[in-house]
Chain A
Amino acid sequence: MKLVVKNLKKSFEKKEVLKDINFEFEKGKIYGLLGRNGAGKTTFFNCLNEDIEIDAGEFYIEDNNNKRKMEAEDIGYVLSTPNVPEFLTAREFLKFFIDINKNRIKNEKTIDEYFGFMKIEQEDRDKLLKDYSHGMKNKMQMLVNIIASPNVLLLDEPLTSFDVVVAEEMKQMLREIKKDHIIIFSTHIMELALDLCDEIVILNKGMLEEIDKNNLDNQHLKNKIIEALKEE
């Protein structure tokens, strides 16, 4: 299965943020999306999530050479600022999500098993989400996004709000689930991208470009990435 993006364009007024995006993202890989501030990473995600309309181009899922539209069920999007319904407890939020995704969840687990999987402590499970910390909200957002096991998982700087221990846990979790998903992971932290991602993709001047990792040690790869990002 692949996510294919073809000639995608998006401008705001006169500013062309995404000029011509062409890329194929494959299942089983984590893609590290790097770009400078304002390069358009979030815009790219918002386009894929249909939060904003694209000006031109298309994106679709290709499965065994069958092309089909990317549906709401195909996509999970974890924002950099976590958004959770604050009037619910974590348990209620999860229950609601399981309810509305009932027929899509393969081998459904109990709510507590999900909490255990995300390492959310017993005493936090019945607290209102409005009393959750930033990092905890982020965990919840991540959890509900992977429960329904969407084919494509967009993560917008998801690990920055976690402490080192949780960040390590999350990385491990992403490695575990990657075989069933296309994971695109935007970040500013190069070490994180190099450590976690299978492919490095750079968004620069409105275009996506894959960095060829072959035969390069870490230092050379870093230099190459920085050079690519610096290009004006």
Chain B
Amino acid sequence: MIETFITSFKLKNTYRINSIIYSIKQLPIIKKILPNSLYKNKGLKIFANIISILYEILSIFIGKIIYIVAMIFMALSWYKTNQSDMFIHLFTFLTLCGGVLNTYMLNPTKDKYYAIVLMNINAREYGLSNYYYQLLKLIIGFLPFTILFGMITEVPLWIQIVLPFFVVAIKLIVMNYSIYYFKKTNKASNENLPTKFVWGFVGVCLLLAYGLPAINIVLNKNIFLVIFIISIIIGIYSLIKIHNFKDYKKMYKQILTENNVYMQEKNTGTQAIKNVSLKQIELNENYTSNKSGFAYFHDLFVKRHSKILTKAVKKQSIVILFIFIALIIGILINNGLKDRINKILMVYLPYFVFIMYCINRSSSVTQAMFMNCDYSMLTYRIYRTPKVILGIFKERLKTLIVINLLPATLIGLGLALLLYLSGGTNNSLNYAILIISIIAMSVFFSVHYLVMYYLLQPYNVSTEMKSSTYTVVQGITYFVCWYMIQIQLPTFSFGIATIVFCILYSLISLFVAYKYAPKTFKLRA
């Protein structure tokens, strides 16, 4: 078993190193200098190896400290109950959640897929040895922090020390139950697709964790001791069962399907995006079009994707409407709120850049455009002629702008109305500025995403991302919008600046797109 573990560890390390080198090779400029033979380069391999080992070591601790700080330590200040009991209380219930949500063994990861399915490594030995390794990492990773935060909250030392073992015991019990369930029903549970029962259980545990203390009910040390002893006994029994279970291969066959494994990488797995995008297509007898040419083509695209286009925007608009109604009612009955909202409206317009960024549909729409349409159409030479590219570009631009305009107009009008109801402003131009600047932002995002997509189309024929520039531009867009949250500027000047910027940006970028898109809009080699 140890040999299998070492083999699998080496395997994992090898592709981790390769992906480090691969990501280095994806960086703009650098990729031009570096040759493909990079993967053979010794010095670089050693460097990547060090990063890989550092990652392995850090991964033991980082997650645990974030978990304890974010989920437990920070929550302590909300309650007035005894801090040490509270710590134990939250830790216990959250451990139950984590136990069912994260088993390690039943997680369809790529390393399991490579090892068990592609390389035919003994499933039992692989599964068990890596499972034990994970549990060991868990104890090592938790122990320093249960001691540290236990000391801060004055939890008795013995509890500080046993907490990590409690976590392991719970994981073992859940895993044993999954095996028992598999033996009985022949159904292996995929931990990334939790059943309703699991969600229900998690919900109840979370409620008990954070809800009970609110009504002053908290587990104390004695109750924890009882729970711990029971868990350890069942945990040891489970460990024996898990160790003696023979049918790991059969179980992993069910879990490690390509779909499950590649669902994992939502960010990079374009195949997964493609699968998701395909599901967005709806065929409905009524979805026809009496247009022709590009307009016909685009019209059908819009209608077949109403889930992510029109319907999504309608839902958004309804939510926005409700929020404004709630705010208006709030203003009418609460004078304090009235003043605050009035103040917010006069200086927090930059914040709305981020909001408009978040609600703009263009990013996901261009993704669907690529996955469901351009990815295949771009292989046709005729589709890449300037006439067709620009013809469809125009149709798409119109649609994106119009679709995003509905929620934008609602927000603009809503803000102006709020301003009026919350006491108004001494410069009535502010009303117009609020409305127009919000609409301008919406148009800006629509234009921005579409133009970027046409100028930087990053995918190749196998839907692999081939240009990191696109990711970088998206990152910058996000960062700038997020940064705006922290800025307070008078609505009047910021609004005017926004409007001017959006108009200029849109005009320039459309000009650039018209000039260069016929050259840049193609599948990457």
Contact = CB atoms under 8 A, between A and B. Distances in A.
A68 to B, nearest CB: 16
Q: How many residues of A sit at the interface, in one of the four size bands?
A: 20 to 34
Contact of B381 (A14, A77, A84, A89): A77
A31 B278 CA distance: 37
A170 interface: no
Nearest to A99: B293
B300 A87 contact: yes
Interface in A19-48: 46
Given A99-B292, A148-B382, A85 B377 contact: yes
Interface string B461-497: 1000000000000000000000000000000000000
Contact of A77 (B377, B379, B385, B525): B379
Interface stretch (A49-57, A58-66, A190-198, A201-209): A49-57
Nearest to A92: B300
B384 A87 contact: no
Interface string B112-142: 0000000000000000000000000000000
A77 B305 CA distance: 28
Given A85-B372, A86-B372, A95-B296, A72 B281 contact: no
A53 to B, nearest CB: 8
Contacts of B329: none
Of residues B301, B380, B385, which shows the largest number of chain A Cβ atoms within 10 Å of its Cβ?
Answer: B380
Contacts of B523: 51
B293 A96 contact: yes
Nearest to B297: A96
Contacts of A99: 292-293, 296
A25 to B, nearest CB: 17
Contacts of B336: none
A115 to B, nearest CB: 18
B514 interface: no
B283 interface: yes
B36 A85 contact: no
A226 B379 CA distance: 32
B304 interface: yes
Given A83-B379, A85-B376, A72 B385 contact: yes
A100 B293 contact: yes
A158 interface: no
Contacts of A225: none
Contact of B281 (A50, A75, A86): A86
Nearest to A50: B381
A232 interface: no
Interface in A74-102: 75-77, 79, 81, 83-89, 92, 95-97, 99-101
Contacts of A46: 525
Interface string B362-394: 000000000011011101111011001000000
Contacts of B182: none
B43 interface: no
Contacts of B373: 85, 87
A95 B296 CA distance: 9
Given A13-B36, A75-B381, A87 B305 contact: yes
Given A96-B296, A100-B388, A51 B376 contact: no
B89 interface: no
Of residues A86, A89, A130, which shows the largest number of chain B Cβ atoms within 10 Å of its Cβ?
Answer: A86
B155 to A, nearest CB: 57
B293 A84 contact: no
A48 to B, nearest CB: 10
A101 B523 CA distance: 22
A89 B297 CA distance: 11
Contacts of A92: 296, 300
A62 B382 CA distance: 21
Contacts of B304: 87-88
B361 interface: no
A105 B391 CA distance: 20
A168 interface: no
A50 B36 CA distance: 24
Interface string B8-43: 000000000000000000000000000110000000
A113 interface: no
A100 B300 contact: no
A85 B377 CA distance: 6
Interface in A139-155: 144-145, 148
Interface in B380-417: 380-382, 384-385, 388
Contacts of A145: 380
A174 interface: no
Contacts of A95: 292, 296
Contacts of A88: 297, 300, 304
A86 B278 contact: yes
A3 to B, nearest CB: 14
Contacts of B461: 79, 81, 83
A83 B375 CA distance: 8
A167 interface: no
A73 interface: yes
A18 to B, nearest CB: 14
Interface string A193-227: 00000000000000000000000000000000000
A210 to B, nearest CB: 26
A145 B373 CA distance: 17
A118 interface: no
B280 to A, nearest CB: 9
Contacts of B377: 83, 85
Given A87-B300, A99-B292, A13 B382 contact: no
B380 to A, nearest CB: 7
A75 B296 CA distance: 24
A128 B281 contact: yes
Contacts of B297: 88, 96
Contacts of B375: 83
29 contacts: A46-B525, A51-B522, A51-B523, A51-B525, A72-B381, A72-B384, A72-B385, A73-B385, A75-B381, A77-B380, A79-B461, A81-B461, A83-B380, A84-B376, A85-B376, A86-B372, A87-B300, A87-B305, A87-B373, A88-B304, A92-B300, A96-B293, A97-B382, A99-B293, A100-B293, A100-B382, A100-B388, A144-B380, A145-B380
The 6 closest A-B pairs by CB, nearest first: A83-B376, A87-B304, A99-B293, A52-B525, A72-B381, A72-B385
Given A86-B278, A96-B293, 9 more contacts: A50-B384, A72-B384, A76-B381, A86-B376, A87-B304, A92-B300, A99-B296, A130-B278, A130-B281
